[in-house]
Amino acid sequence: MGGPRRGGGRPELARARKRMGMSQDEIAEALWVSPTTWSRWERGRQEIRPVYRARMAEVFGVDPAEVERWVDGRAAVDTEAWLVSDCSDLSLAATVEAAGRLWRCDVDPDRRHVLAALPFVPAVLGNWLSEWTYGLPPEPVTCRGTGRAVGRSDVRRMNDAWQAFAEMDHRFGAGLVRPAVVDYLHSTVGPLLHGRYDDRVGAELMTAAARLTQMAGWTAFDLGHQGKAQYYFGQALKMAKAGDDALTAAWVMTALMYQAIHLDQAAWAIRLARAAGDTARLGQATPRVMALLLSREAWATALQTGKNRDGHTIRRVERLLGDAERAYEQGTTDRDPAWAASYEVTNLTSESSRCWHLLGEHRRAVEAAEATLSAFGERRIRSAQLARVNAAEAYLGMGEVDQAVDVARTAISSARSLTSARLVERIRRFSDRLEPYGATVQVKEFRAYLDGELVS
Query: How does DSSP assign 247-301, residue by residue?
Result: HHHHHHHHHHHHHHHHTT-HHHHHHHHHHHHHHHHHTT--HHHHHHHHHHHHHHH
Strand (E) or helix (H) holding 196: strand 196-197
CA distance 440 to 163: 46
In three-state form (DSSP H/G/I as H, E/B as E, the rest C), the secondary structure along 117-173 is: CCCCCCHHHHHHHHHHHHCCCCCCCCEECCCCECCHHHHHHHHHHHHHHHHHHHHHC
Instruction: Tell which of 243, 269, 292 closes a domain.
Output: 243
Q: Is residue 411 domain-resident?
A: no
Could you tell me if 103 and 35 lie in one domain?
no
147 and 200 part of one domain: yes
Q: Identify whether residues 115 and 29 lie together within a single domain.
A: no
Calpha distance 224→227 (Å, rounded) = 9
User: Helix, strand, coil: what percent of the chain each, to 5?
Assistant: 75, 0, 25
Q: Is residue 372 part of a domain?
A: no
CA distance 333 to 355: 28
401: in domain: no
Distance linking the first and last C-alpha atoms of the chain: 34
Q: Kindly report the CATH number assigned to the domain that includes residue 65.
A: 1.10.260.40
Instruction: State pLDDT tens for residues 349-408.
Output: 999 999 999 988 899 999 998 888 777 766 788 888 888 999 999 999 999 999 999 999
- pLDDT by residue for the chain (456 residues), tens only, comes to 445 555 568 888 888 887 777 788 888 888 888 889 999 998 888 889 887 888 888 788 777 777 888 887 654 444 444 444 556 666 788 888 889 988 988 998 877 777 777 778 887 888 888 888 887 777 888 888 778 999 999 999 999 999 999 999 988 888 889 999 999 999 999 999 999 999 999 999 999 999 999 999 999 999 999 989 999 999 999 999 999 999 999 999 999 999 999 998 888 999 999 999 999 999 999 999 999 999 999 999 998 876 566 778 888 999 999 999 999 999 999 999 988 888 889 989 999 999 999 988 899 999 998 888 777 766 788 888 888 999 999 999 999 999 999 999 988 877 777 888 888 899 999 999 999 999 999 999 999 999 888 765
**Residue 196 pLDDT:** 93
Closest CA to 334 of 286, 302, 366, 301: 286
Is 18 in the same domain as 144? no
Which of these three, 195, 222, 243, is where a domain ends?
243
Number of structural domains (the chain) is: 2
Cα 221 to Cα 148: distance, rounded to the nearest angstrom: 34
Q: Do residue 165 and residue 117 come from a single domain?
A: yes
Domain around 199: 88-243
Distance of CA 14 to the CA centre of its chain: 25
Does 269 reside within a domain?
no
Does residue 60 form part of some domain? Answer: yes
**379 touches 421 (CB < 8 A):** no
Domain termination residue (choose one: 55, 76, 97): 76
Residue pair 32/55 in contact by the 8 Å Cβ criterion: yes
Q: What is the C-alpha to C-alpha distance for residues 189 and 195, in angstroms, rounded to an integer?
A: 10
Are 205 and 121 part of one and the same domain?
yes
Are residues 17 and 148 located together in one domain of the fold? Answer: no
- Which helix (DSSP H) or strand (DSSP E) does residue 197 occupy? strand 196-197
The torsion defined by the Cα of 157, 250, 135 and 230, in degrees rounded to 10, comes to: -80
CB of 219 within 8 A of CB of 174?
yes
Q: Domain for residue 70, yes or no?
A: yes
> Do the domain assignments include residue 275?
no
Q: Is position 66 within any domain?
A: yes
Sign of the alpha-carbon torsion through 78, 81, 86, 91: positive
Asked if residues 246 and 210 have their Cβ atoms less than 8 Å apart, the reply is no
Task: Label residue 430 left, alpha or beta by phi (over 0 means left) and psi (-120 to 50 means alpha).
Answer: alpha
Cβ-contact 405, 447 below 8 angstroms: no
Q: Are residues 16 and 108 in the same domain?
A: no
| Biggest CA-to-CA distance, the chain | 69
- Mark whether 108 and 55 lie in a shared domain: no
Residue 92 and residue 171 share a domain: yes
**Residue whose C-alpha is closest to residue 339's, from 285, 273, 270, 274:** 285
Residues 33 and 67 both lie in one domain: yes
